[in-house]
């Protein structure tokens, strides 16, 4: 990834927080890397280099600044806007694929050889998959050290390290102090560490502005009884994660979203954080999006009224796909009723220790494929489509993870009987965070366009939307809100 070195330095000199997460500032004289907005004295231009990722900085021997915590920033929006191998790999690495399946598994998911993957990531991101995964493990370890009472050995294995020694060495190299010192420093900054084992209280930062009310309203209209609850100020739901179940309470606050996680297995912290960030689209660059959409005179009042709009994502691609197919050609309320009925019949109840709210996991694709015919109601064609999609997912024929290419996923979906372009585009938007899906055939989008004085005919609206690239998904979300 080529960085404009002079522009980066101007951002650092002005401590511009809008660039946090876009690049890393590495200071040669101190051996420390920081976020662009670090409050420390601005280093001389000759003493700094700018790198695309924390993994690249660590590979060059830099350690993380303990003052500005450069890993505690929103991620780069590039990972969502790009569909190339580097962006897809980064999404999978943050989901913990390397820890679970190794670099071999990561390469297989992306459809490339390990050698080619390493070459591309090193060229694009300044570090190979192992170094990038190591940086992610270090970040997960710091979160566990600072937010849980877990012992260091438990943290080491929960964060994905092969041994306690590897954990200790990595923390020393990345943060410059042993893990126990990190915990002591955190206690001074935050007060006492939470005393309930398995419960973590985290801050998920975002780039302002942030349309939290819009996200909560979207989730509230679709919330399934037992699986999720939404109030004016928070969103609670159950999570199905790689190593077990969990629950989360999300509370939007100034500058960050508070997340209270109850994990069945602490190894799921990294994947949980990555999925929650995608759910709320926290890595978006709202200023860039609003600036472009606001250039259209019809959109300018809409953007001014709702700055920082976000794409509602997902924590479980399988769940979202099955719910989308279940809700085809019916109202949102009817889809919600059908989804809640399916979850109540086939979902799994969580133990009381994991929840004080929603306690029902949405059923797996395997369960729906095996028993869905017993409980699904409605048109036979829709039931057949739901069962077919469940069978495809359960058998591995349809993969719905963050590493998919949006165009490839759309093509696979529309090739399946009963799946049309709208459903394929909707899933690309929700599951992959594709920022450029207009959904021009959607009735709500067309009604919103008409309300703003935009053309509502599909072809004419699509032509007008050429001016909104690459943020047409955000335009569609504005039109939904308007309608």
Q: CA–CA separation, 136 vs 138, rounded Å?
A: 5
Active site annotation includes 442: yes
Selecting among 268, 281, 285, 442, the annotated active-site residue is: 442
Q: Which helix (H) or strand (E) holds 242?
A: none
Give the full edge-to-edge strand order of the sheet including 32-34: 48-51, 24-27, 32-34, 63-64
- Compute the radius of gyration of the chain from its Cα atoms: 22
Rounded to the nearest 5°, which phi and psi values hold at 175? -110, -10
| C-alpha 313 chain-centroid distance | 7
Q: Which helix (H) or strand (E) holds 372?
A: helix 365-375
Query: What does the block give as tokens for 393?
Result: 């997912």
Selecting among 8, 34, 38, 68, the annotated active-site residue is: 34
CB under 8 A, 24+ apart: contacts of 122-125: 124/1, 124/52, 124/84, 124/86, 125/1, 125/52, 125/53, 125/55, 125/56, 125/86, 125/90
Give whole-number Cα distances, 370 to 13, 224, 337, 387, in Å: 60, 22, 21, 8
Q: CA–CA separation, 456 vs 447, rounded Å?
A: 7
**Please, are residues 140 and 160 in contact by the beta-carbon 8 Å criterion?**
yes
Cβ partners under 8 Å of residue 398, min gap 6 = 321, 389, 392, 412, 413, 416
Give whole-number Cα distances, 407 to 18, 23, 411, in Å: 30, 28, 6
Query: What does the block give as tokens for 301?
Result: 């009042």
**Please, are residues 276 and 206 in contact by the beta-carbon 8 Å criterion?**
no
Q: CA–CA separation, 264 vs 218, rounded Å?
A: 28
**Please, are residues 267 and 243 in contact by the beta-carbon 8 Å criterion?**
yes
Query: What does the block give as tokens for 166?
Result: 């590897």
Q: CA–CA separation, 483 vs 155, rounded Å?
A: 48
Number of neighbouring beta carbons within 10 Å of residue 357:
15
Residues carrying an active site annotation: 34, 442
């Amino acid at each position: 990834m080529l960085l404009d070195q002079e522009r980066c330095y101007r951002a650092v000199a002005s401590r511009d927080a809008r660039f946090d997460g876009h690049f890393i500032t590495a200071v040669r004289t101190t051996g420390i890397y920081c976020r662009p907005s670090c409050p420390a004295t601005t280093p001389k231009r000759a003493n700094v280099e700018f790198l695309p990722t924390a993994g690249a900085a660590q590979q060059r021997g830099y350690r993380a600044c303990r003052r500005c915590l450069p890993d505690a920033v929103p991620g780069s929006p590039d990972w969502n806007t790009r569909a190339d191998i580097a962006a897809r790999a980064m999404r999978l690495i943050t989901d913990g694929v390397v820890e679970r399946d190794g670099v071999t598994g990561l390469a297989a998911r992306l459809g490339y050889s390990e050698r080619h993957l390493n070459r591309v990531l090193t060229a694009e991101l300044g570090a190979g998959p192992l170094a990038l995964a190591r940086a992610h493990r270090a970040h997960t370890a710091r979160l566990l050290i600072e937010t849980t009472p877990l012992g260091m050995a438990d943290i080491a294995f929960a964060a994905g390290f092969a041994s306690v020694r590897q954990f200790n060495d990595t923390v020393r190299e990345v943060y410059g102090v042993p893990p126990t010192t990190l915990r002591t420093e955190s206690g001074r900054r935050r007060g006492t560490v939470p005393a309930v084992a398995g419960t973590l209280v985290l801050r998920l930062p975002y780039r302002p502005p942030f349309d939290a009310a819009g996200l909560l309203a979207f989730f509230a209209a679709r919330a399934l009884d037992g699986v999720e609850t939404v109030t004016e100020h928070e969103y609670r739901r159950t999570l199905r994660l790689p190593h077990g179940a969990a629950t989360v309470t999300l509370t939007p606050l100034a500058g960050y979203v508070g997340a209270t996680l109850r994990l069945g297995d602490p190894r799921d912290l990294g994947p949980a954080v990555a999925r929650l960030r995608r759910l709320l689209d926290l890595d978006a660059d709202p200023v860039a999006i609003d600036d472009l959409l606001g250039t259209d005179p019809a959109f300018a009042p809409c953007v001014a009224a709702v700055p920082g709009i976000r794409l509602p994502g997902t924590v479980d691609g399988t769940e979202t796909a099955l719910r989308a197919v279940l809700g085809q050609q019916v109202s949102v309320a009817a889809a919600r009723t059908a989804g809640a009925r399916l979850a109540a019949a086939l979902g799994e109840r969580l133990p009381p220790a994991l929840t004080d709210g929603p306690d029902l996991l949405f059923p797996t694709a395997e369960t729906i494929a095996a028993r869905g015919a017993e409980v699904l109601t409605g048109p036979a064609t829709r039931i057949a489509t739901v069962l077919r999609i469940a069978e495809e997912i359960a058998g591995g024929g349809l993969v719905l993870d963050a590493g998919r290419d949006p165009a490839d996923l759309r093509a696979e979906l529309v090739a399946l009987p009963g799946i049309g372009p709208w459903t394929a585009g909707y899933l690309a938007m929700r599951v992959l965070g594709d920022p450029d899906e207009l959904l021009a055939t959607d009735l709500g989008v067309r009604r919103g366009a008409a309300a703003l004085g935009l053309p509502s005919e599909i072809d004419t609206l699509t032509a007008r939307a050429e001016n909104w690239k690459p943020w047409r998904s955000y335009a569609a979300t504005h039109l939904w809100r308007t309608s």
